[in-house]
Amino acid sequence: MALNFRQQEILELARAERRVVVEDLAARFGVTLQTIRRDLAELAETGQLERVHGGAVVRSGMANIGYDARRGMNAAAKAAIGRACAAEIPHNSSLFLNLGTTTEAVARALSGHRNITVVTNNINVANILAPNEGCEVVLAGGSLRRSDGGLVGALTARFIEQFKVDLAVIGASALDASGDLLDYDLAEVGVSQTILRHARATALVADASKLARSAPVRIASLAELDLWVTDAPPPAPLAQACADWHTRICLAQPDPRVST
């Protein structure tokens, strides 16, 4: 698709500033909010930008989008995935929750659970679960990644090795057509792999937009997992592969009270 002059300038601004905001762009170009939203949607269709709440960010295959931007991306889908995953988790159970805004959505959906133990290397997850008196929270040690409250590295992995939980729930930055889970940070990936090895059952929480992204480090394959909770049916070849691997796909249902 050929970009018009305004879209080219929007793309240059996004590359320079990493994020653009609808209201700011409308004022800059003297056009309506609807016109800017249409521009951003068309730029997203080309794969050059990724829509977030209130604007857009640059899509990249080598560096992850910032935490604040990721938190606003596909928020309704993540909330639905969180509820669907929580419904799979019984009372009186133990689980891992790793880094990511989708695992944080799972933590929010666990507010009604009782007598559960959650081991996490995500400070945000620990803070979300702290008010729930029915949940024992075990926070891993390790090197703090200040950008998103994650604890990563060899010390974190050794801490995780002390546990064997009922379910590991992990997120991923990207998911390719072959079913490989991908991420950006090698230290984080090592912890996620340790989490998967120390759980009796394993689940991925990832919305459909992860299929349009790429990242350089492999975590695992869906073939190695028991469950994938997502918000839309995957492409037919990947769905068939999951069936062959006996990896169950759970489709989250949107909240009917929330308009889209």
pLDDT band at 19 (very low <50, low <70, confident <90, very high): confident
Mean pLDDT, range 130-134, rounded to an integer: 94
Residue where a domain terminates, one of 59, 87, 103: 59
Number of independent structural domains in the chain = 2
For 41-69, write each residue's pLDDT tens digit: 888 877 778 887 788 887 655 455 565 56
Question: Taking a C-beta distance cutoff of 8 angstroms, is the pair 245, 220 a contact?
Answer: no
pTM: 0.75
Residues 53 and 85 placed together within one structural domain of the fold: no
**Distance in angstroms (rounded) separating the CA atoms of residues 80 and 17:** 31
Mean pLDDT, range 110-125, rounded to an integer: 96
pLDDT band at 238 (very low <50, low <70, confident <90, very high): very high
Instruction: Tell me what pLDDT residue 62 has.
Output: 45
| CATH code of the domain covering residue 49 | 1.10.10.10
Instruction: Decide which of 151 and 147 is more confident.
Output: 151
Instruction: Tell me what pLDDT residue 65 has.
Output: 59
For 85-102, write each residue's pLDDT tens digit: 999 999 999 999 999 999
Q: Which of 186, 212, 243 is nearest to 73 (CA)?
A: 212
Mean pLDDT, range 118-134, rounded to an integer: 96
Question: Taking a C-beta distance cutoff of 8 angstroms, is the pair 170, 202 a contact?
Answer: yes
- For residue 211, tell me if it sits in a domain: yes
- Domain residues for the domain of 22 are 5-59
Residues 137 and 211 placed together within one structural domain of the fold: yes
Residues 208 and 138 placed together within one structural domain of the fold: yes
**Distance in angstroms (rounded) separating the CA atoms of residues 177 and 235:** 8
Residues 76 and 158 placed together within one structural domain of the fold: yes
Residues 11 and 99 placed together within one structural domain of the fold: no
pLDDT band at 122 (very low <50, low <70, confident <90, very high): very high
Mean pLDDT, range 143-172, rounded to an integer: 93
Which three-class secondary structure state does DSSP give residue 176? coil
Distance of CA 176 to the CA centre of its chain: 14
Residue where a domain terminates, one of 13, 30, 59: 59
Residues 47 and 146 placed together within one structural domain of the fold: no
Residues 120 and 198 placed together within one structural domain of the fold: yes
| CA distances from residue 95 to 111, 136, 164, 227 in whole angstroms, order as listed | 14, 11, 9, 14
pLDDT at 199 over 70: yes
Residues 120 and 238 placed together within one structural domain of the fold: yes
- For residue 194, tell me if it sits in a domain: yes
Residues 89 and 48 placed together within one structural domain of the fold: no
Q: Which of 125, 131, 124, 75 is nearest to 95 (CA)?
A: 125
Mean pLDDT, range 185-213, rounded to an integer: 93
Residues 199 and 133 placed together within one structural domain of the fold: yes
- From 26-30, 72-76, 236-240, the region with the lowest mean pLDDT: 72-76
**Distance in angstroms (rounded) separating the CA atoms of residues 40 and 18:** 14
| CATH code of the domain covering residue 222 | 3.40.50.1360
Residues 89 and 49 placed together within one structural domain of the fold: no
Helices (H), the chain: 5-17, 22-29, 33-45, 67-72, 75-87, 101-109, 123-129, 154-160, 186-197, 236-245
Question: Taking a C-beta distance cutoff of 8 angstroms, is the pair 171, 102 a contact?
Answer: yes
> In angstroms, what is the C-alpha Rg of the chain?
19
Q: Which of 165, 169, 180 is nearest to 105 (CA)?
A: 169
